Amino acid sequence: MRNIGGKLVCPRCGYSRDVDQNTLASMRKVIVFQRRVEAKEVYLELPHGAVLREDVQCPNCGRRGVYYWRRQRSTAESSDLIEKVWKCPSCGYEWVESE
């Protein structure tokens, strides 16, 4: 209900009712609407030794706090390559940085 010129008017149906200031003051209350968020479950396959870093932000969803671990790769052109693998617990996004 909205107060328009001493009347309470419903924004949906247009119903109006005359009210005085005393009635208006007693009818005031705070209504809190909570946004419902659906949680989706993400199964993380993390290797033993994965470390949580709270200061790193996921580039996909923007959440802070992602896991990382190191893995070693060998290629024909170079002997050994160490990579740092990051994985977000919120969205499951994974990215790799070469060291």
Residue that the structure tokens 């659906």 belong to = 38
Does domain 51-98 fall under CATH 1.10.10.10? My reply is: no
pTM greater than 0.85: no
Contact 14, 7 (CB under 8 A): no
The pairing of strands 2-4 and 51-57 is unpaired
pLDDT tens, position by position, 49-98: 899 999 999 999 999 999 999 988 876 666 778 899 999 988 889 999 98
Domain residue spans of the chain: 1-33, 51-98
pLDDT tens, position by position, 22-59: 666 666 554 555 666 666 665 678 888 899 999 999 99
Given a cut of 60, whether residue 17 has pLDDT beyond it is: yes
Largest CA distance in the chain: 86
Given a cut of 90, whether residue 12 has pLDDT beyond it is: no
CA distances from 81 to 21, 60, 72 (A): 76, 25, 6
